[in-house]
């Protein structure tokens, strides 16, 4: 577990590392730069190199089975950003690996997992596929058998009830896990289609990360969106944020009752521009989240 400096989460969990740039929001990917540093420091998870055209040293996609069970060890509930150093829906993350990740999330209803992707189409297809849940069921037993520690009986029972085909309508997939929030990133108007893919993904909570916001989003449809994160870019070469783009999103969130989290204005350093918009901060979380979620 790594305690995160990202304002809207508490800890990061990286059972997968590495990725490839796919759109303008990736141009200054902090994970790509950090992976290069971690590789140079000898960090074991960052020794796989990626394609130099789209990735970089230490940033090749790698699944870390020894990290998959980490949340089972964290006794107190946490907000967990899943794969802050990767993209869970990257084509090189196999359905079997994703099934193990889903199994761990099903076994730990005390945590709230925040899953964010720039590849929502693949995630939508995977989570709509009944065969995927057969893999999750197998993974539940594998994880439980191989985990070197206790799993509360109630959590195991609830996870098995959740995945059991006998508890579903014929042909149906299980209800979305209530402790898993699914999100997609949208940086410019041309990527507003990602919200459509997210909408067709079974999810208890859906969120958008409009960070780094690189332009106005007039095409953005907020239907069925529970939470919107917005922020400007930071670091050397940051692309400046126009606060009018944020104001327009704020007004629409208020009108549609979508919870809003304004992370940062951005600048050379993350805190350079502050977090205030017209004299106030926006630190809202999805309102449909209930305390002590379970999935019995
Ligand atoms: S999708 Fe995310 S992790 Fe992957 S390169 Fe783009 S910004 Fe980085």
- Report DSSP letters for 131-163, one per residue: HHHHHHHHHHHHHHHH-SS---HHHHHHHHHHH
Query: What atom of ligand 1 comes closest to residue 117's alpha carbon?
Result: 1
- Substitution site in 17, 20, 21 for ligand 1 pocket (most atoms within 8 Å of beta carbon): 21
**Burial class of 160 by CB neighbour count within 10 A (0 to 12, 13 to 18, 19+):** middle
pLDDT score recorded for residue 165:
86
pLDDT score recorded for residue 1:
65
Q: Which residues line ligand 1 (CB under 6 A)?
A: 19, 21-22, 25-26, 29, 31-32, 86-87, 118
- Substitution site in 27, 32, 183 for ligand 1 pocket (most atoms within 8 Å of beta carbon): 32
pLDDT tens track, the chain, 296 positions: 677 878 889 999 999 999 999 999 999 999 999 999 999 999 999 999 999 999 999 999 999 999 999 999 999 999 999 999 999 999 999 999 999 999 999 999 999 999 999 999 999 999 999 999 999 999 999 999 999 999 999 999 999 999 998 888 777 899 999 999 999 999 999 999 999 999 999 999 999 999 999 999 999 999 999 999 999 999 989 999 999 999 999 999 999 999 999 999 999 998 899 999 999 999 999 987 643 334 43
Q: Whose CA is nearest to atom 4 of ligand 1?
A: 19
pLDDT score recorded for residue 65:
93
pLDDT score recorded for residue 57:
98
pLDDT score recorded for residue 39:
98
Contacts of 188 (CB under 8 A, 6+ apart): 24, 25, 214, 215, 217
CB 99 within 8 A of CB 134: no
Query: Could you tell me where the DSSP H helices lie in the chain?
Result: 30-40, 65-68, 70-73, 95-107, 120-127, 130-146, 153-163, 193-199, 243-256
Q: Measuring CA to CA, which residue among 209, 247, 248, 215 is closest to residue 231? A: 209
Ligand 1 centroid to residue 87 C-alpha, Å: 6
pLDDT score recorded for residue 168:
81
Ligand 1 centroid to residue 151 C-alpha, Å: 33
Ligand 1 centroid to residue 211 C-alpha, Å: 12
């Amino acid at each position: 577990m790594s305690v995160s400096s990202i304002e809207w989460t508490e800890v990061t969990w990286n059972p997968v590392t590495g990725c490839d740039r796919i759109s303008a929001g990736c141009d200054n990917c902090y994970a790509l730069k950090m992976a290069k540093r971690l590789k140079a420091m000898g960090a074991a998870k960052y020794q796989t190199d990626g394609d130099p055209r789209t990735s970089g040293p230490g940033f090749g996609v790698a699944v870390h089975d020894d990290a998959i069970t980490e949340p089972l060890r964290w006794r107190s509930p946490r907000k967990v950003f899943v794969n802050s150093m990767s993209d869970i829906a990257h084509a090189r993350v196999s359905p079997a690996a994703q099934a193990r990740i889903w199994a761990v999330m099903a076994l730990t209803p005390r945590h709230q997992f925040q899953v964010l992707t720039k590849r929502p189409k693949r995630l939508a297809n995977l989570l709509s596929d009944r065969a995927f849940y057969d893999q999750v069921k197998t993974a539940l037993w594998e994880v439980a058998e191989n985990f070197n520690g206790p799993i509360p009986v109630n959590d195991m029972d609830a996870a098995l009830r959740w995945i059991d085909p006998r508890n579903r309508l014929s042909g149906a997939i299980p209800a979305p896990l209530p402790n898993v929030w699914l999100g997609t990133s949208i940086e410019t108007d041309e990527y507003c289609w990602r919200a459509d893919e997210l909408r067709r993904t079974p999810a208890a909570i859906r969120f958008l990360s409009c960070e780094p916001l690189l332009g106005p989003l007039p095409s953005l449809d907020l239907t069925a969106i529970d939470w919107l994160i917005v922020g400007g870019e930071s670091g050397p070469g940051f692309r400046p944020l126009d606060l009018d783009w944020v104001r327009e999103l704020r007004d629409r969130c208020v009108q549609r009752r979508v919870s809003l989290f304004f992370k940062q204005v951005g600048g050379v350093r993350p805190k350079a521009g502050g977090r205030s918009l017209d004299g106030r901060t926006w630190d809202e979380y999805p309102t449909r989240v209930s305390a002590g979620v379970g999935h019995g």
